[in-house]
Structure 1
Amino acid sequence: MGSMRWATAISRDTDLDEAVAGCAAELRRELGEGPVSLALIFVTPHHRERYREVPSLVLSHLGADALLGCSGGGVIGGGEEVEGAPAVTLTAARMRNVEVRGFRIGGPGALPDLDGPPDAWEELVGARAAEEPQFVLLADPFSSDPVTLLSGLDYAFPGAAKVGGLASGATSAGEGALFVGEDYYASGTAGLALTGDVAVDTVVAQGCKPVGGVMQITSCQDNVLQELDGRPAFKALEEVYAALDERDRKLAGSALFVGMLMDEFEEEPGPGDFLIRNLIGVDPQNGSLGVGERLQEGMRVQFHLRDAEASAEDLRAVLTGYERAMGPARASGEVSGALLFSCLGRGEGLYGEPGFDTGVLHERLGPVPVGGFFCNGEFGPVGGTSFLHGYTSSFGLFRPRGPREGRQ
């Protein structure tokens, strides 16, 4: 057995005790005898009345050194994606020479100042930058500030992976759940810091295809896009629209986005190079467009469209890019386990079939154990910076560190 082994299981049993016990027993069979370094549990809101019992149930059956999880409107595990039905998924890993530390952060007021020293962020998560930690983050959407959190962690831990998402399955504050260690919380953020012989590769599929050419912002103010290539932004959009075929024109009426190229030196941008943001307003009178992100003059942007076909193409493209970067044999042979944080707007509602994203990952990387849930927002990097996304699938791919990836 190698230095890292993962397993995942799912149960549709409506009795929480039976569901957790069944998943834990399956994981024990998969992992064999020995300690469990990490367990992650995701639970649908059908089990809301018993959220408080979840950590003790998992730890009593599995005895993991570290536990993390949350509530989800849909859950992923055991090769399945379950939406709109009672389900529990449990994922576990045995990892040699890896330390896993859980932490919990209160509301936005608990976050350090972004202008302060990085050691305040190290203290917040119980890890030092010199340890080169990797992070898994779960946050309550009603009582957290994930944008500031991700910015702060990028500042203090610039080389660290940060993947995760916003808990789902709740319609108001206090209805969701976060699990860390032996504890249950209805607010804040819960996370894990992993150090040692572990690398977490990130793949972010934003589900869009580009249309028109790449243009440069020549005038903007905050999130208002005024000019592209020296002409009114709305006129540039009209020109792109005029060149679309009938199908894409129809799609542009409801699923048009703006992609911002994150690497200013990229000569031939492709999938994964753009940060996709909503087009939130159009003013034909002054020729400006509203974009769901702050803009800067000199940025290069490209319009994008999103539908099931575009999303499937993008997912395959970014996973193929990961394979090429790693080397196909190494990618399929070294990735021991994966976490998938997928938007509630994807899944069967987008693709018309269940388990699509999980299936594509298995197509590209083989039968890697995949656990996760459907989120209210997903965390993942684009161009080396961590963002809160929508309509995205963010993957964390876990493997041992390579011989050149040890700490300096």
Structure 2
Amino acid sequence: MRWSNFLSTRPSLEAAVKEVAEKSLELLGATADLGLVFISSAFTSEYPRLMPLLKEYLPETIMIGCGGGGIVGMDENDKPEEVEQQIAISLSLAHLPEVAIKAFHISAGHLPDLDSSPDLWCNLIGVPTADQPQFIILADPFFTKINDLLQGLDYAYPNSPKVGGLASSGLNGQGTGLFCEGRFYQEGTVGVSLSGKIILETIVAQGCRPIGKPYRVTEVERNIVLELEELVSVDQVVSDGIKQSPLEALQNLVQNLNEKDRKLAENSLFIGIVRDEFKQNLEQGDFLIRNLIGVDPKAGAIAIGDRVRTGQRIQFHLRDANTSAEDLEMLLQRYQREVGLETISTNNAAGLMFSCMGRGEGLYGKPNFDSRLFSSYLNVPISGFFCNGEIGPVGGSTFLHGYTSVFGICREPS
């Protein structure tokens, strides 16, 4: 297995495609079986020309990609670069001699019903469950059934990792685009499944830290939480069994925050939903972060940007630049400990970065932060784009996220 990437900022589409194709092929030094291309929305009017131009250099390569308001790739000094709101094309190539590659495009009207059997979902993708595929998924931001697609794929392929993002446009609101096997699409989802001698591992950096104590939800209607029970630990209710409204819990929490966090809570307060009902020692990464979308002062209820069940544990969270940086570094350190990096080298692995449009220089105040922090732990070529929503797993299920950086690490089995 070999991987390469190159990023071009040439203003001419022909010149940029020529540069990324020739440089990536040179760096790869082998036959390119798979290509992943990410192109700036500054090229929107020329999207239909991208695939034919690439096919001139890579006629046999299976290829998918999309447009983005910001593009991630390796510069001429072999360092990760995040080009935001400017012209750029990033091309990753992979030589995968013992990997079966299947590209696909799916329209909303072709999705099976969520009550359908797994076989229908497998037929949709064209890959049996037994192949244990791993997925890279890119979707149109107006694809309203993206959550249905992710649930269906989890149902059919429960042990298969899935990463990706929603295509994005620039500040001028220009259109988005998807690319798959020589064709340009403006709707639906494109993706690729990888089966065989390859591992796709994921890091989902949601950029939040928990504050206060965890609570158990005792009364809820869909996404409206009506009553909570405070926990002194992750699984033990306080001895007097006091229940309270979510608004009371929030008011008590804010009163006990320091001045900096109290100010941060005015605009950057979120809810973390625990995904593993049996885990006792909760850590960052155990929560699915969702927006706090409303408060009902009369009822004392809060509305969360996802459905919640009675008995689930939740905890309030805060997000800022420092927290986002610390969260990503902690997850990278954990990955380093658990996987070990001795089997990962510059050419036999790759990183994929799917980052929210709300991160990048606007969050950190300086460019290239997430990609170069990733690179400081894994010295592999990295590519990706800034998304309208990020796709990645939390607690064994795949979700569409916001304000997140999702990384996929493609490598050979040890």
Q: TM-score range by the shorter chain?
A: over 0.9
The amino acid that maps onto 1:82 is: V
Residues 179-227 of structure 1 deviation map (CA, whole Å, 9 limit, x = unaligned)? 0011111111101011110110011000111110111111111101111
Partner Cα distance (1:269, 1:59) in 2:
48
Offset at 1:64?
4.7
Q: TM-score normalised to the size of structure 1?
A: 0.94
CA RMSD of aligned residues (A): 1.7
Offset at 1:148?
0.4
Runs of 4+ off more than 3 Å:
170-174, 328-335
**Residue 406 of structure 1 corresponds to which residue in structure 2?**
none
**Residue 13 of structure 1 corresponds to which residue in structure 2?**
10
**Residue 300 of structure 1 corresponds to which residue in structure 2?**
313
SS at match of 1:212: coil
**Residue 273 of structure 1 corresponds to which residue in structure 2?**
286
**Residue 19 of structure 2 corresponds to which residue in structure 1?**
22
**Residue 245 of structure 1 corresponds to which residue in structure 2?**
258
Residues 371-391 of structure 1 deviation map (CA, whole Å, 9 limit, x = unaligned)? 000000000000000000000
The amino acid that maps onto 1:62 is: L
SS at match of 1:353: coil
Alignment partner of 1:358 is 2:371: yes
Residues 157-183 of structure 1 deviation map (CA, whole Å, 9 limit, x = unaligned)? 000011101000168999221100111
**Residue 405 of structure 1 corresponds to which residue in structure 2?**
none
Residues 66-113 of structure 1 deviation map (CA, whole Å, 9 limit, x = unaligned)? 101011001000110000111111111111201111100012x21101
Partner Cα distance (2:59, 2:332) in 1:
34
Structure 1 pair 221–332 and aligned structure 2 pair: CA distance change class (3 A): farther
The amino acid that maps onto 2:5 is: T
SS at match of 1:329: coil
The amino acid that maps onto 2:394 is: V
Structure 1 pair 335–393 and aligned structure 2 pair: CA distance change class (3 A): farther
Asked if the contact 2:25/2:32 (under 8 Å) is kept, the reply is no
SS at match of 2:212: strand
The amino acid that maps onto 2:16 is: A
Asked if the contact 2:292/2:302 (under 8 Å) is kept, the reply is yes
Structure 1 residues without counterparts, runs of 5 or longer: 403-408
Asked if the contact 1:35/1:64 (under 8 Å) is kept, the reply is no
Structure 1 pair 291–331 and aligned structure 2 pair: CA distance change class (3 A): farther
Structure 2 residues without counterparts, runs of 5 or longer: 75-79, 230-242
SS at match of 2:190: strand
**Residue 61 of structure 2 corresponds to which residue in structure 1?**
65
Residues 313-364 of structure 1 deviation map (CA, whole Å, 9 limit, x = unaligned)? 1111111121222134346689710111000000000011111111111112
Asked if the contact 1:259/1:304 (under 8 Å) is kept, the reply is yes
Partner Cα distance (2:347, 2:284) in 1:
23
Partner Cα distance (1:216, 1:328) in 2:
38
**Residue 162 of structure 2 corresponds to which residue in structure 1?**
162
Which one is further off, 110-119 or 56-65?
56-65
Structure 1 pair 324–64 and aligned structure 2 pair: CA distance change class (3 A): farther
Partner Cα distance (1:332, 1:345) in 2:
31
The amino acid that maps onto 2:24 is: L
**Number of residue pairs matched by the alignment:** 396
**Residue 48 of structure 1 corresponds to which residue in structure 2?**
44
Structure 1 pair 335–381 and aligned structure 2 pair: CA distance change class (3 A): farther
Asked if the contact 1:70/1:177 (under 8 Å) is kept, the reply is yes
Identical residues among aligned pairs (%): 45
Choose from 222, 245, 260 the match for 1:232. Answer: 245
Offset at 1:60?
1.4
Asked if the contact 1:144/1:189 (under 8 Å) is kept, the reply is no
Which one is further off, 169-178 or 337-346?
169-178
Alignment partner of 1:388 is 2:406: no
Residues 242-283 of structure 1 deviation map (CA, whole Å, 9 limit, x = unaligned)? 111100000000000000011111111111110000000112
Alignment partner of 1:38 is 2:24: no
Partner Cα distance (1:314, 1:174) in 2:
32
The amino acid that maps onto 2:12 is: D
Structure 1 pair 319–247 and aligned structure 2 pair: CA distance change class (3 A): same
Alignment partner of 1:370 is 2:382: yes
Asked if the contact 2:344/2:411 (under 8 Å) is kept, the reply is no
Asked if the contact 1:144/1:187 (under 8 Å) is kept, the reply is no
SS at match of 1:373: strand
SS at match of 1:209: strand
Asked if the contact 1:257/1:305 (under 8 Å) is kept, the reply is yes
Q: TM-score normalised to the size of structure 2?
A: 0.93
Asked if the contact 2:99/2:196 (under 8 Å) is kept, the reply is yes
The amino acid that maps onto 2:94 is: A
SS at match of 1:190: strand
The amino acid that maps onto 1:375 is: C
Which one is further off, 351-360 or 320-329?
320-329
